[in-house]
Amino acid sequence: MSQNSLGSEVSIANVAAVAGVSTATVSRVLSGRRRKDDDLSRRVRQAAKQLNYSVNYAASALRSDVTNSIGLIVPELKNAMYSSVVQAIEPAVNAQGKQLILGIGSTADEQEKRIRLGISHRADGLIIIPVETESVVHFLEDVAEQIPVVQLLSQTYSNKLDWVGINETTVMQIIADHLSTAGARSVAYIGSSTNELDGMSLFTAFHMQMTVSGLSTYTEWIHFTAEGIDFGFQIMQGILSQHNFYPESVICADGLTAVGAFRACKDAGLEVPGDIKIAVLQDSEICRDGAFNAPSFTSVQLPWKRMAREAMTLVSAEHERKSWLPSRRELEPVLMIRDSTVVSS
């Protein structure tokens, strides 16, 4: 039975499972790019023979040369989280003597086009923050049979793809625990758009964790917006004008939104952190430095550099002894406690 490597009854993943190696290793052995005639190579060839698997040589020919390039696909660059990923990945790629191929796609269709472009440029591996993950997961699994694929950040729907990221529930837990300890009993939420996968995941985690932590909230206190000082100001101003009481804390998606929320509190005659405490979902220079005449903001610091190193380890074409099982590497965020939530004694 002759098989190709995408979507057949017997796939390269089956060969990898029997041989106990990665799909990338199978591809290198069967295409002749791995020249060592050792036990690992013999296991691969024996597994292929056992499963009656033959290489799609047309596809393998496209993979015959190592280009020392890594593809990185993100939904956009305006989002602070995604731009942080790019800033962390690029030096990690350079450190391995490779070149970064950056693709931007805000929809599943656009991302698929960028992926195909990366394959046409013979990228040695692919790192991706997918949008509409369920829509692209099967395509990514097919691609992973040809080159290493690592998914970053977003919730993974695949048991075949390597993944590096954080748990949104952990992010919300450390914020909620701190706000509660600092004396807050209620919370508002100004998050990023739920049209973004991470925006929806974070809001879901917020909804669950606030219930667990005993912090009350109201529907009128929950908003989703683009990043920006003006957006933060307008939304927080609206929250403060709706009732004769106000939330004792607010969680903002980013530093600029937090600056806007702070200005609205100040205009209303409320003190931060005495009356309202402000926490931010992602650390930045704005949070650290107390820019725009605002206090420094308590915020969640994500391990970008370690995330980049882990992704490069998994996507490296030289990583031949990786288990055939996918890796799931969950990294721990750290809450940086600053002036916006702590009342000076």
Tell me the pLDDT tens digit for each residue of 251-262: 999 999 999 999
pLDDT in tens, 49-84: 888 887 654 344 444 456 789 999 998 888 778 889
**What is the structure's pLDDT at 25?**
78
Question: Is pLDDT of 153 > 90?
Answer: no
Distance CA 275, CA 253 (A): 20
Q: Is 127 helix (H, G, I), strand (E, B) or coil?
A: strand
**What is the structure's pLDDT at 246?**
94
Task: Give rounded-to-5 percent helix, strand, coil for the chain.
Answer: 45, 15, 40
Tell me the pLDDT of the chain averaged across its residues.
84
Strands, DSSP E only, in 106-175?
Answer: 125-128, 149-152, 162-165
**What is the structure's pLDDT at 179?**
95
Cβ atoms 13, 160 nearer than 8 A:
yes
Distance CA 87, CA 282 (A): 15
Strand partners, 70: 100, 125
Distance CA 336, CA 153 (A): 20
Distance CA 200, CA 75 (A): 15
**What is the structure's pLDDT at 31?**
67
**What is the structure's pLDDT at 186?**
95
Q: What's the rounded mean pLDDT across residues 225-241?
A: 92
Question: Is pLDDT of 322 > 60?
Answer: no
pLDDT in tens, 87-144: 999 999 998 888 999 999 988 889 989 988 888 888 889 999 988 666 778 888 888 8
Rg of the chain (C-alpha set): 24
What torsion, rounded to 10 degrees, do the Cα atoms 325, 158, 57, 37 define? -10
Query: What percent of the chain is modeled with pLDDT above 70?
Result: 86
User: DSSP assignment of 53-86, as one string?
Assistant: ----HHHHHHTSS---EEEEEES-SSSHHHHHHH
pTM to 2 decimal places? 0.75
pLDDT in tens, 176-189: 999 999 999 999 99
Amino acid at 212: V
Contacts of 140-143 with CB under 8 Å at 24 or more apart are 140/115, 142/6, 142/7, 143/115, 143/119
Query: Within 10 Å of residue 110's Cβ, how many Cβ atoms?
Result: 15
DSSP 221: G
Q: What's the rounded mean pLDDT across residues 179-200?
A: 80
Q: What's the rounded mean pLDDT across residues 2-21?
A: 67
Query: Within 10 Å of residue 38's Cβ, how many Cβ atoms?
Result: 8
Higher confidence at residue 145 or residue 228? Answer: 228
Place of tokens 């530093």: 255
Higher confidence at residue 163 or residue 11? Answer: 163
Place of tokens 């390597």: 162
Question: Among positive and negative, which fits the CA dihedral 116, 117, 119, 125?
Answer: negative
Distance CA 231, CA 219 (A): 18
Distance CA 156, CA 330 (A): 12
DSSP 331: P
Strand partners, 154: none
For residue 150, give the nearest of 121, 129, 131, 123 by alpha carbon.
129
Distance CA 23, CA 326 (A): 10
Query: What percent of the chain is modeled with pLDDT above 90?
Result: 45
Q: Which of 60-74, 231-245, 290-304 has the lowest mean pLDDT?
A: 60-74
**What is the structure's pLDDT at 138?**
82
Question: Is pLDDT of 193 > 70?
Answer: no
